[in-house]
Structure formats: structure tokens, C-alpha cells
Chain A
Amino acid sequence: MSLRVSPWRALAPWLISLLVLLVIPMLVSGNGTFSIINLIAINIVFALSYNMLLGQGGMLSFGHAVFFGLGAYGAIHGMNLIGDAGYDGQGFWAHFPVYLLPLVGFATGALAALLVGWPFCRRAGTAFAMITLGLGELVAAGSQMFPTVFGGEAGVFSNRMVGPVWFGLELAQPADVYWFSAFWVLLAVFAMWAFTRTPLGRLSNAVRDNAERLQFIGYPPRNLRFLVFIAAGGFAGLGGGMAAVNYEIVTPESLGLLTSGLALLMAAVGGLGVFYGPIVGAILVTVMNSLLSDYTDASILYVGLVFLAVVMFAPSGLGGGIEQVRQAWRRGDLAAHLPGWLGGALAVVLIALGLVGTIELVYQLSHGRDKLAQVLGLQPDPSSPLVWLGVVALFAAGFGVARASKNYREARS
């Protein structure tokens, strides 16, 4: 039976992930690198929790950051309670290690979703998207009215070097926080993966595909959406809790539309239809966001272009692309498909180079030389027609290859 995968096959991705997480600290050093890796871990949890809603439940949310942010606030207040309880060593919080604060984040996020979600879940589609957009703006704006809870513009600070320490797991340097992040990201990813395999997870796919039919097999769509909404809120809150421990500060920005947009961006770039898609998206987008600004002032524009390119040319995302290749490999006809796909990839690279060239030239005309040109040691002269001709040649070559590989693919299929 095809569903009976050998246990080693099923276990392999987890063992590999564990291995990667164990090996990373041997390969990298420096607080900056660990900071980026910790942020990747947070964003993986956030993006996957978002995909519980959109990819698996068919609910397009523009307010998912509310649960991320509230989870972060819950955790940072927990951290302050641990710190306060440390003076007399009495009570619940005196025995609560900072390591477990993501659980507080989970509880806060899930509780918030439980409290507000029921009216939202009556419909999916545009109505749901608009209501969550409203919720996001409402909570972000409302947070300014309660400075004792949300800390006003500056946010809430804390200190993670408090409370009991278990097994010598201190949280001083970003390298220490790495183990904290690795533990929680692995646990959360596994939990969210396991969720997709449960009856509720499967029915959440069913409500996405066809809410009407679901009623006639005995389930009100609203109940299912609501349960998925709570679970997604909880996991977003868990990510928020990780962020609170990582940064020791939570600001109202974490509740707002930009943060919600980041979740959508990461999930869509990585691919909504594949479980690991948002993981790929979170890694790529976080790395781009963190590193690109070191090299170019137009970094946000580049992230936007990647998003555009994925939505237009690879709507199933990077994960969808990987899955396509994997399935062709399993069917054994990868060799037949590969030239067409590589051609497509080459076309994307050529057109991207052309675009980067255009952007950098325009940038140079309007702002002076961008960092990227300096890093690459290039000194293009925008007044020279030869440079522009080069850019046009890149575009032309890109479109030519795109055309040819499309013909190839169509001839094959």
C-alpha cells in the first residue's frame, strides 16, 4: 500500500533537520550570524503558523501578526514576572524558566484567537481577509491606548537572564539563544506537521477545497475554521514568545500590518501548497531582509521583486518547484524535464541580472553610486549607451531563453 512509508523514510527529514541544527553552531560563529539564524527560526514558526490558515485552511489573513505580537507581549510580561519573582523567590513565576516562555506565547496567542475568532470564521474569502485586516489595524492602533500593557511607542523591555536555569542552559549570548531557538523551532515545526496528519488537519484542507460539501459530510465549516484559527494563533504566539526571549523587547510594530505582510510574503514565496514551503520562504526572505541591506540601499525593492516574480512565474512557490522536481525524480523522468526547467531558471537569472542592472543604473543616476556596485567593484557609467545596451542584451537573452525553454517544455508534454 502506497501510504505505508517505511518508518526510516518518514523519520529521515527530522533526523536531517536535527543534524543540521546540531552542525550549524560548529560551522558558524559571531553574534551577527547567530542573530540572523535565531530570527530565521522565529520566522519559520511564524510563516508555518500563517500557512495553517492560508495554505491549509484556505483563510487569507491580513492580521496574523496580532497573535504573533500578543504572544510576544505575553512572553515578555512573563519574563518580567519571572524577574520580579526572583527577588523573594516565591510563587509560580519564581520557578518558571525563561526557556519555557514560548509556551506562554502559545497560550496568549491561542487565547486571543479564541476570544476574537468566532465571528471571523463564518466566511472565508474576501470577508475573512477584510475582517482580519480590520482586526490588525484595530489592535495595532489600540495598543497605543494601553501603555502599561504595550509600553507605548517604545514597547516593553525585559531581561532574559532571570529565573531558574535548567540543565545549565543559560541565555546570555546569541549563541546561547541559538539552542533555545533550535529546540523550539524543531518542536513547533514537528507539532504543526503532526497537526496536518490529524483528522482536524485533513478536514481543514477539506474546508479549504469545498466548504459546502463539508456540511453534507456532517461538519459546519465555521467550527473547523475556528479551531484552525485558534491553533494558528497559538503557534504564531509561540513564534512571538521566541522573539520576546531573543530580543528582550516587544514593540507595537510586531502587531501591525507590516508584520502580517511579512508572514504572507514568506509563506507565498516558499509555497502554500507544500508543508515545508513556508520554511524555505522564511529562510530566503529573512536572509534577504537581513543581508541585502548591507549591500544595497534598494534591498526592499529587491525583496518586493522576488515576491512579484514568484507570484507571477511560480505561483506554487519555491517549495512547489522543489516538489515538482522531486516528483519527476521519483517517476524517473527528471532527465526529460530538466533541460526545460533549467532553461526557465536560466531565463529568470538573466532577466533578474538585467533588472538588477537597470535598478542600479537608475539608482546611480538619482542617488549616486549604490553600495552593490561598490561591493561588486563595478563602475558602470550611466551616460554610456554601451552599458544600457548590455542591460538590454541581458533582457533579450533572458526572454529568448524563456521562449526556447517554454517551447521545449510544451513539445515534451
Chain B
Amino acid sequence: MSHALVIDDLKKSFGPAEVIRGVNLRVEKGEVHAVIGPNGAGKSTFFNLVSGAFAPTSGEVRLHGQRIDGLAPEKIQQRGLARSFQVSNVFGNLSVFENLRCACFKQSAAGYTFWRPAGSVKRANRRAEEVLAMIGLAELRDSPAGALPYASQRALEIGMTIAGEADVVLLDEPTAGMSNTETTQAIELIRQVAEGRTLMIVEHDMGVVFELADRISVLVYGEIIATGTPEAIRNDPRVKEAYLGEEAA
């Protein structure tokens, strides 16, 4: 089976309001799949359903063929799907390194241990060092995460997401609020993250999307109206009407 994620007829209602209205989506192993759509289309809700923050009203989500819909976030993480957050969501009083190491404990099977120091959990420490170097924050290793500059915090956010060795990674607007230079760096980092992993990414910056994505899905009013290569999406009249046209106007 070559699909990392298979989503079938996924629905979510909040009271009478149906926000996700039957999403069908297949994310292939190893691809970078972008989900775009106008504000209020339900992109964040969609991510929250897949990552377990919310339970879907109905429908199915399969990760490598196994049902994960309705599972708690920590269970989904343990099965190899990790996500980042739109608003930086780190452990503010812990150091950068400690943030990363905490994100590695689960896969080192060390989290509930109180009979040995954290420094002796070799696998978690090694992995945290690797990720620290990869996200380029080695200089800030001992700074409290809450005091980092914005772009560094975003990088840490991505670092924590991949630290747990997940092979399917969801990134929620990784470049939101960044300057051009910062965005260029972030794209470079996401490229590295994508190596050997499946990526699903929600992004507003079309430049970023067309640069990174192998395929794009367009979510409008809780439904996917088109999925295809960047070229196909760029030329799709429905997409132009619903989304891109709106921006061009």
C-alpha cells in the first residue's frame, strides 16, 4: 500500500455548523502534500481531526492502513504521525534542548522513568542533538524556549514535531508571520524535513506552496474541490474561481 494517509468521507460538526463536510484525500508515501484554501475553509479543523485534537463526527482516517480517527493525540503520535502548530506551542520555561529532548522521550521509551537521569537516555539525547543542529539553534541551546525570537521559535516548533521520529508530519502554516529571509530559511528546513518523510502542510503563502508541494489539495467550505500537481491546480478553473481568482481580483 503506497498511501501514508487515507481519509474517507471525514465530517465534523460543531453543533449545527458542519465545518468539514465529507473530505476524501489520499496522501502518498514520501510526498509533500499541501492543503490550501481560503480563510474559514476548515483547514485547521481538518488538521485537528487528523492529528486527534478533535474527534471526527463521522468518517475514517487511516495511517499506513490502520484506523486512527477518534484516537487520542498521544496514541496517534505513537503510531508515527506528528504535527506542528500554527501558533508556536512550545514548553516556554524549558530550554531549547530540553524541549527537543522531551519530544524524544516517547520514542526512547523513557518518559515515565524516574530511576535514571535524563542525560543517560542516550537515544533521546543523541536525537535531540541531531535535531538541534538541523534546525540551526545550536547557539540558543540553553535559552528558555519562551524567550526565543519568533522565527527561532517556529524552527523549534518544527524541530519538536520531527524529533519523535514520526514518518508522517503535518505542518500547520510553518511560515506564517515570517519575513522573506526567514521564509527562505524555513523552506530550506522543510525540504530537509521532507526527506524520507511524508509531509502534509497547510500554508497561506502560495510561493511556499508551489515551491514545496508535490501535490496540492484545495479545501473550500469543508470539501476538497480539487487535488493535483501544482500545474494542474494552477490551471484548474474551479480553483481559480473559488480561491486563486479571489486573490487575483
Against A, the Cβ 8 Å flags (1 = close, 0 = not) of B66-106 are: 00000011100110001101000111111001100111011
* Nearest CB in chain B: distance from A238 CB, A: 15
Residues of A in contact (CB 8 Å), total 30
A3 pairs with B119, CB closer than 8 A: yes
| B115 proximal to A (CB < 8 A) | yes
| B196 proximal to A (CB < 8 A) | no
Interface SS, A side: helix
B113 pairs with A206, CB closer than 8 A: no
| A209 proximal to B (CB < 8 A) | yes
- Which one of B82, B94, B112, B164 contacts A205 once the chains associate, using CB atoms below 8 Å? B94
- Which one of A209, A216, A220 contacts B93 once the chains associate, using CB atoms below 8 Å? A209
- Among B82, B92, B93, the one with the most A-chain Cβ atoms within 10 Å of its Cβ is B93
* Nearest CB in chain A: distance from B79 CB, A: 10
Interface members, chain A 202-256 (any B CB < 8 Å): 202-203, 205-206, 208-210, 212-220, 223-224, 227, 231
CB neighbours of A2 from chain B (8 A): 141-142
| A195 proximal to B (CB < 8 A) | yes
Against B, the Cβ 8 Å flags (1 = close, 0 = not) of A61-74 are: 00000000000000
A200 pairs with B111, CB closer than 8 A: yes
* Nearest CB in chain B: distance from A121 CB, A: 14
CB neighbours of B93 from chain A (8 A): 205, 208-209, 273
A219 pairs with B111, CB closer than 8 A: yes
A206 pairs with B91, CB closer than 8 A: yes
* Nearest CB in chain B: distance from A195 CB, A: 6
A219 pairs with B74, CB closer than 8 A: yes
| B226 proximal to A (CB < 8 A) | no
| B110 proximal to A (CB < 8 A) | yes
A202 pairs with B74, CB closer than 8 A: no
| A197 proximal to B (CB < 8 A) | yes
B101 pairs with A202, CB closer than 8 A: yes
B117 pairs with A197, CB closer than 8 A: yes
Q: Assuming A202-B98, A203-B111, A219-B106, is B119 touching A210 (CB within 8 A)?
A: no
B164 pairs with A231, CB closer than 8 A: no
| B121 proximal to A (CB < 8 A) | yes
| A194 proximal to B (CB < 8 A) | yes
Q: Which 5 A-B pairs have the closest CB atoms?
A: A218-B106, A209-B91, A215-B73, A200-B114, A218-B77
Name 26 A/B residue pairs within 8 A (Cβ), A-sorted: A3-B142, A194-B117, A197-B117, A198-B116, A199-B105, A199-B112, A201-B118, A202-B94, A202-B98, A205-B91, A205-B93, A205-B94, A206-B102, A209-B94, A209-B146, A210-B89, A215-B52, A215-B74, A216-B82, A216-B83, A217-B82, A218-B106, A219-B105, A219-B106, A219-B111, A220-B72
Q: Which residues of A contact B (CB under 8 A)?
A: 2-3, 194-195, 197-203, 205-206, 208-210, 212-220, 223-224, 227, 231, 273
Q: Which residues of B contact A (CB under 8 A)?
A: 51-52, 72-74, 77-78, 82-83, 85, 89-94, 97-98, 101-103, 105-107, 110-119, 121, 124, 141-142, 146, 160-161, 163-164
